[in-house]
Chain A
Amino acid sequence: MLPEIEQYFRLEKLPHMWCPGCGNGIILHSLVKAIDKLCLDQDRTTMVSGIGCAARASGYLDFDTLHTTHGRALAFATGVKFAKPELNVFVLTGDGDCTAIGGNHFIHAARRNINLTTIVFNNNIYGMTGGQYSPMTPNSCRATTSPYGNLERPFNLTELAIAAGATFVARTTTYHTKQLTDLIIEGHKNKGFSLIEVITHCPTSFGRQNKMGTPADMLKWQRDHGISAMRYENLNPEERADKFIIGVLHKTEAPEYTTEYQKLLEKLG
């Protein structure tokens, strides 16, 4: 591990529990690099996570860390941030955690535009329970609960966040680590609800069932399919079919909830 990021980890809790080849560690690395560049006070930064593989991330990080119940990370984080707005609050959640059981909290945190930096580890599957399909599993993909191929359609999570009122929405992959760090930095600087969707690879539960090859093959797939908006613009519809845009997808300004509440307190006080 690079010495400059060591201070953000609870080294005694490593090695982590994730499978060999898992992308989650890459996200963690980018996250702490972003925190380092942002010069955030470690004592004033809180990591909130839900349940699932991604959610175990909080335990490895040396901050106040809150490992909550399934799907509820954003609701717990809302409580932390609203009670103590001066804290930097990051939410680490998986696709199942955030978009299925936690879907309601997700749209409402976005609607409130509360200043939380939410990183969705999207591996397209329920990894910890052994590979069931999630609301982010692509149509026709295999999972233990879609043995004949997934009949459902996945969410477009970034579009959902934009529609719900998030003021910073971005997407990237675990292949694009430098961009991931930059997006986390930019997302954290946004005064409002920020979503960073990270396409990450789960070789054990998703890749294996869908014949995606080795972890390195999955990373190459991310490299080849995640493209910038500019490149995407220049593709014809056929070429676009299996591609997705990475980078900042949406950025706007809107009243932030805890700031508005503070104004109310000042008005009444």
Chain B
Amino acid sequence: MPGTWEVRLSGSGGQGLILAGIILAEAAIIDGQNVVQTQSYGPAARGGASKAEVIISPEEIDYPKVERPDVFLGLNQESVLKYMTGCKENGLAIVDSGLVNHVPPSKARVYSLPITETARKQVGRELVANVVALGALSALSNMVSKESVTTALLRRVPKGTEDMNRKALELGFGLAEQALSAVVGEN
């Protein structure tokens, strides 16, 4: 399907990946796209490897699961090993530089970004790593607008945490910009 984004967000249970997937999907709805969001998880609410998937398309979406990700996010080693396979050529893979030591060979452009570290050091809460990641992957891919993802985020987060979450998202945007300029610099 033209203009379709297949997105797979993975990490351990408790890292907020399903919520990140929901916010991404809602941002796409604001942008007027069709979306499907699914998830796969085990019996444990914390730890292990879990994934949330989002498909964004201007067309009607039939198959709801991601077959070959355009965008992959891996927030821990286990999930990267389990779910990173099949990324599209020229796809985008973002992994957490502090939590993922080994990245399997991939056809995607791989960005290793200090997502959790940024959340911890610059926001003061590791909890918002999912939001930093959301900022980074939406800015790196441009699949949803910054405005929409900001709006979608603020609609979902608990009252009183808006500023913290907005900051985390913008730090994610910033990580993306740094990564892109670094790539340009290398060329």
Contact present between A and B (CB < 8 A): no
